Structure 1
């Protein structure tokens, strides 16, 4: 069983430690206290909480891709053919190269809410 400290949970969720404490105090995120009185969150409970926070389209899927990161566009660099688009989704930075035409049609600009949809045949999983 993996137990996370409040600061580690905050890092995973991309929020402050105070926000995590409020989630625990409100009963939305289960936590226990260790021998020193510090709060710990079980990894399985954290995973269940995160699954419950994931945006859902509620209905028939419109794409075969299942990996979606909701975030905000933080950078768009256009040239004549391509556009470099950066999205910050929680603690994650996702960079994509799209056609200039697609970026223009989508109205991609800094501050726009966007979803990075990822479908890959090769995903590397690492343990920190």
Structure 2
């Protein structure tokens, strides 16, 4: 089981170190001591807690679709030329960048600050780990 220091768990969960310590003290999150005597938590438990606490913004369109990876956010940057445009969005903690036609940007009425939904439907998702992690 991958072990994680309290400060790293707090960072992944978007809370303070003290909040994670309170969860450990209340029994909501199990902890043990590592070889150096520091408190560590199970990375899998942190992942489950992150999933439980994830809050997504509801899709305002109300239309059902097969794509499940949908991120509601705000347009933060648009770089365009005569044919193509690069649209950058902030969707919660995630930065999403899309390349599309300039015509699509105009048709969608995208401008800085617009609410938009990034829909990701792909056959390839690459997963990486930090250097040195197993």
Normalised to the residue count of structure 2, the TM-score between the two structures is 0.64
Q: Quick check: 1:55 aligned with 2:56?
A: yes
Separation of aligned partners in 2, 1:48 and 1:11? 15
**Which residue is equivalent to 2:31?**
32
Q: 1:122 to 1:37 in 2, by over 3 A?
A: closer
| Correspondent of 2:74 among 63, 72, 75 | 72
Instruction: Tell me the equivalent position of 2:2.
Output: 2
The CA distance in 2 between the partners of 1:11 and 1:32, in whole Å, is 16
Alignment RMSD = 3.3
Unaligned runs of 5+ in 2: none
**SS of residue matched to 2:119:** strand
Answer whether contact 2:58 2:72 (CA < 8 A) is retained: no
Which secondary structure state, in structure 2, belongs to the residue aligned with residue 88 of structure 1?
strand
The reply on whether 1:21 has 2:23 as its aligned counterpart is no
Q: 1:84 aligns with which of 79, 83, 86?
A: 86
Tell me the distance in 1 between the aligned counterparts of 2:85 and 2:99: 6
Q: Deviations over 1:78-126 (max 9, x none)?
A: 3333321112345543211122233234343333444322111122222
Unaligned runs of 5+ residues in structure 1 are none
Conservation of the 8 A alpha-carbon contact between 1:12 and 1:91: no
* Cα 1:110/1:9, change in 2 over 3 Å: farther
| Cα distance in 2 for residues equivalent to 1:5 and 1:61 | 42
